[in-house]
Amino acid sequence: MSLTYHIIIKKEYASAVIEDLQKMDALEILPDEAYSVPQWQIDEVRRRKAYYQAHPEELMSCEAALKQIETD
């Protein structure tokens, strides 16, 4: 069974704790690129935004969209 813990590390100890966890191979620091939004996704959102600005009649409410998802 996996548990989730929420911890608070005092600022003056944070870097030492992180370094110790790295030395124990208990922590992996990922580069920012691992969490960045890919360019194709940014382009797709911009394309859809432009489309719906030109065709607002195509928009639907969040409730209608969720209902459609549930029935599909």
For residue 38, give Cα distances in angstroms to 9, 31, 34.
32, 14, 10
pLDDT digits (tens, 9 = 90+) for 6-57: 889 898 999 999 899 999 999 888 887 777 888 999 999 999 999 999 999 9
Enclosing domain of residue 28: 11-71
CA distance 10 to 21: 16
Residue 3 lies in a domain: no
Residue 5 lies in a domain: no
Give the CA radius of gyration of the chain: 22
In this prediction, residue 20 carries a pLDDT of 93
pLDDT band, very low/low/confident/very high, at 3 (cuts 50, 70, 90): confident
In this prediction, residue 28 carries a pLDDT of 84
Q: How many domains does the chain have?
A: 1
Residue 2 lies in a domain: no
Residue 22 lies in a domain: yes
Residue 53 lies in a domain: yes
